[in-house]
Structure 1
Amino acid sequence: MTDLSLWQYLVIALLFVWGGFVRSGLGFGGAVLTLPFLLMVHNAPLVYLPIISVHLLVFSGLTIAQAHFRARRSQNQPATVVQTTVNWRFLRYALALMLIPKLIGVAGVITLPATVISSFIFVVVAVYAMTYILQRPFKSNSRSLDAFFMMLGGYVSGTSLIAAPLIVPVAASRVARHELRDTLFVLWFVLVAIKLTAFAWTGIDLQWQHHIWLLPCAAIGHVMGLRFHDYTLRADTGFFFRILGVGLLAVSLAGLGRMLFQVLTT
């Protein structure tokens, strides 16, 4: 990412502000609502994924710690008896189903060409965008379908960190609303730690030099998103997601079109 123009660096910075805002505001979507736009600026998934992964570790850990200390102060009780905002039972269920598909997905992102990974991301995000536009999120009324969504989410997470629309509906049906964000953050933390470990073990560049300027960008969005989260707990965000869906669909179709053009002209 050293040969980009000034406008590309500026857009990437703004997109990381946006990603930080979405991540802390909703508890999910920091990657799925940002990665397609980043790939349109510079098509290099293995550049962005380590950066986004580190940001997830930093800000998910920070948010969980803040929620714990805030609950401790409000209840005026020692840490051992503070009511948690993390549903550990759901986390055990999720990780048992997701671990093996996650490892398979990580192997794929390391070995497959960048164009294949980018095309996969654009296709998956286009499907997500349609669910946002039509307000038809993935839903399940059966344990078997829940398990399928979680395993598929594990694979997608391993490949591209954009599994939230598959995982969140299952979590929302099993976790109280006030626990949902922090429970998801713990899940993202564990999944991302696995991915970063695999990246480091296989010698993937973790892009540490770009964290110097992109981490503050994400921090700005993170602070803005914390305030937005209080709003989402009491408001209907359907319109917000429909607008996002239109934008994501347009970007995904444009990205797929660009990939197809590159294939046909080579």
Structure 2
Amino acid sequence: MFLPELGLWAHLAIAVIFVWSGFVRSGLGFGGAVLSLPFLLLVDNRPLVYLPIIAVHLLFFSSLTIWHSRAATDIDQRVDWRYLKRALLIMLAPKLLGVFGLLALPNDVMTAIIFAIVTLYSFSYIFNKPFVSKHPGMDILLLMLGGYVSGTSLIGAPLIVAVFAAHVARTRLRNTLFALWFILVSIKMAAFIWAEVDLQWRQHLWLLPCAAIGHWLGLHAHNKLLQANSQAFYRILGWLLLAVSGVGLGTFVLA
């Protein structure tokens, strides 16, 4: 059930990265892909191997979170379906364009694009200048860009969160984002099936439990992360992402 072309250390690294992915996704409500995909591509430079696995994890854990939010007695923690529907109308067309772009682009070009986007995100973390939307026109632009990037590589979260954070209550933000990820990833999975992309079902036997461990840890850390001043965490994370993306882009240029 393991990837036969990779060694033991590569498999251990992949397992740890998926634990980290699950922790970030449930702890913050976003970032499971953007904060793990660059590390995965350093282990094995094949985006279409990892994207279906990440997509299935998003579907599985987002559905759990949405179900839990529907059962919550505190209405302030439920999904903001009203704003979610408005945003989806803006994002749908760019999302579809991004999905078909992913399927058409060569593997190396897609990898370089992912590292370039993550490099841009890393600077926003390092200098504490997150993407911010303060105008309806900027809302539309960021949602369209986020939808397109999400379609190509599932790493459009920082752009999308910039808009949702301005319109959705903080206590409802994570669950609303999980509902959004479920819908967007369902579109991507349908495209994968249509294009007959290998969905890597055998790899889920060992990677889904890894993500589940991270998901459980993130659920317990969520309230603390909401209350914490996370600037130092994001700055360190930004430098780490910049280093990883730099190595990835350097490898691509020298290849």
- TM class by shorter chain equals over 0.9
Structure 1 position 41, deviation (Å): 0.3
Q: RMSD of the TM alignment (CA)?
A: 1.0
Please give the TM-score of this superposition, normalised by the length of structure 2. Answer: 0.97
Aligned residue pair count: 253
Counterpart for residue 8 of structure 1: 10
Aligned pair partner of 1:60 in 44, 59, 62: 62
Q: Match of 1:233, SS?
A: helix
What letter corresponds to residue 16 of structure 1 in structure 2?
A: F
Aligned pair partner of 1:114 in 93, 107, 111: 107
CA distance in 2, matches of 1:98, 1:254: 32
Q: Superposition pairs for residues 166-181 of structure 1, below 5 Å?
A: 166-181=159-174
Unaligned runs of 5+ in 2: none
CA distance in 2, matches of 1:164, 1:135: 17
Structure 1 position 84, deviation (Å): 5.8
CA distance in 2, matches of 1:253, 1:67: 39
CA distance in 2, matches of 1:228, 1:84: 16
Matched, 1:258 2:236: no
Counterpart for residue 28 of structure 2: 26
Q: Superposition pairs for residues 186-201 of structure 1, below 5 Å?
A: 186-201=179-194
* Cα displacement string for residues 116-153 of structure 1 (whole angstroms, at most 9, x for unaligned residues): 11000000000000000000011121101110000000
What letter corresponds to residue 12 of structure 2 in structure 1?
A: L
Give the number of the structure whose alpha-carbon radius of gyration is greater: 1
Counterpart for residue 207 of structure 1: 200
CA distance in 2, matches of 1:134, 1:142: 22
CA distance in 1, matches of 2:77, 2:162: 21
Structure 1 position 2, deviation (Å): 2.2
Matched, 1:128 2:130: no
CA distance in 2, matches of 1:252, 1:170: 25
Matched, 1:87 2:80: yes
* Cα displacement string for residues 171-209 of structure 1 (whole angstroms, at most 9, x for unaligned residues): 000000000000000000000000001000110000000
Q: Match of 1:7, SS?
A: helix
Counterpart for residue 227 of structure 2: 234
Unaligned runs of 5+ in 1: 76-81
Counterpart for residue 138 of structure 2: 145
CA distance in 2, matches of 1:244, 1:2: 31
CA distance in 1, matches of 2:222, 2:126: 21
Counterpart for residue 79 of structure 1: none
* Cα displacement string for residues 87-111 of structure 1 (whole angstroms, at most 9, x for unaligned residues): 1121111110111100110001111
* Cα displacement string for residues 12-53 of structure 1 (whole angstroms, at most 9, x for unaligned residues): 000000000000000000000000000000000000000000
CA distance in 2, matches of 1:156, 1:68: 29
Structure 1 position 67, deviation (Å): 2.8
Q: Is the 8 A contact 2:131 2:158 kept in 1?
A: yes
CA distance in 1, matches of 2:33, 2:198: 19
Q: Name the % identity.
A: 57
Please give the TM-score of this superposition, normalised by the length of structure 1. Answer: 0.93
CA distance in 2, matches of 1:89, 1:68: 15
CA distance in 2, matches of 1:61, 1:238: 29
